[in-house]
Structure 1
Amino acid sequence: MINAKFAPKLALLPLAAISLVACESQAEQEADRAEDAMEAQAEQSAMTSGTEQIALGMTEAQLIDADLVTADGTDLGDIEQVRRDASGAVTGLLVELDDTDPDRWVEVPMEGLTTRPDGTDMDVQTTMTAADLAALPDAQMTPAPTV
């Protein structure tokens, strides 16, 4: 049950959300739509790949759930998508970099990546620094080829 004193404020939440969206530029709205489409495609791909280990001894779902970290466990970004070539071979990981404004996504090549335990999960460890990642070009936000 909703407390009567909070009901008027709760009614304003949808209006606040609409106001926030209205403040975004056309480019920001298009970037949001591209990101949403890319994430939906990545989730669908992970669901269809099942339990097959595709890279680093991990399934696609495990990779998408992992963070990209340094050797000491410092979080560099979130893995959003597994990138493949036309034959289906994994070529890289699309990573949303931490602490960027506006948000930035880069494609990290598989060379030099390893796994790092994180409790009961696994993260992907890189030898790249935050500066190395920042120097990478922005990734294309188009859906990756699927197998």
Structure 2
Amino acid sequence: MLAAASVTVLMAACSPAPRQAETPEAAPDAASAPADTPVAPTGAMALGLTATQLENAALAAPDGTGLGDIQRVDVNGAGQITGLVVAPIGAGERWVRLPLEGLTVKTIGQDHLVVADLTLDQLKAMPAWAP
């Protein structure tokens, strides 16, 4: 009996530890801000929308032509939204920064459209944004 108990203890010691439940790693998100980039405080607003609403809005020209995806809001050191960081359509992984001046918002039901008075070519010609 002592031998059987010893074998059981020895087998338990040699077996691999039970696996802990794995938590999925956070997927890298193109809109994630680097740690040293200011983030809009909860409730921060610009153009009559919250930061989250702006990031979920579409960007279009006045005629409704899509210009790109809003990746994130740009925030100054005081936590105020000062612009939008946009990925122009067809520009790959390149982002540009649009100042808020000249942008308007059109709301259609629950959806928001940020309207910029420029063309896709003008948007693509803007300098690349880097945090």
Same fold (TM over 0.5): yes
Q: Which has the higher helix share?
A: 1
> Does residue 129 of structure 1 match 2:114?
no
Match of 1:110 in 2: 100
Identity %: 37
SS in 1 for 2:31: helix
Distance 1:96 1:132 in 2: 13
Distance 1:63 1:80 in 2: 9
Change (3 A) 1:88 1:53: closer
Match of 2:60 in 1: 69
Q: Give the TM-score taking structure 1 as reference length.
A: 0.60
Q: Which sections of structure 2, spanning at least 5 residues, go unmatched?
A: 1-27
Report the alpha carbon displacement of residue 117 of structure 1 after superposing the two structures with TM.
Answer: 2.4
Aligned length: 100
* Alignment root-mean-square deviation, CA: 2.1
Q: 2:89 aligns with which of 98, 101, 124?
A: 98
Show CA shifts across 1:61-98 (max 9, x none). Answer: 10000111111211100111110111222211000111
Q: Which sections of structure 1, spanning at least 5 residues, go unmatched?
A: 1-35, 143-147
Q: Give the TM-score taking structure 2 as reference length.
A: 0.67
Distance 1:130 1:104 in 2: 13
Report the alpha carbon displacement of residue 134 of structure 1 after superposing the two structures with TM.
Answer: 1.2
Report the alpha carbon displacement of residue 103 of structure 1 after superposing the two structures with TM.
Answer: 2.5
Match of 1:7 in 2: none
Letter in 2 for 1:124: V
What does 1:33-112 correspond to in 2, within 5 Å? 36=28, 39-41=31-33, 45=39, 49=42, 52=43, 54-100=45-91, 102-112=92-102
Report the alpha carbon displacement of residue 40 of structure 1 after superposing the two structures with TM.
Answer: 3.2
Letter in 1 for 2:93: D
Distance 1:127 1:76 in 2: 10
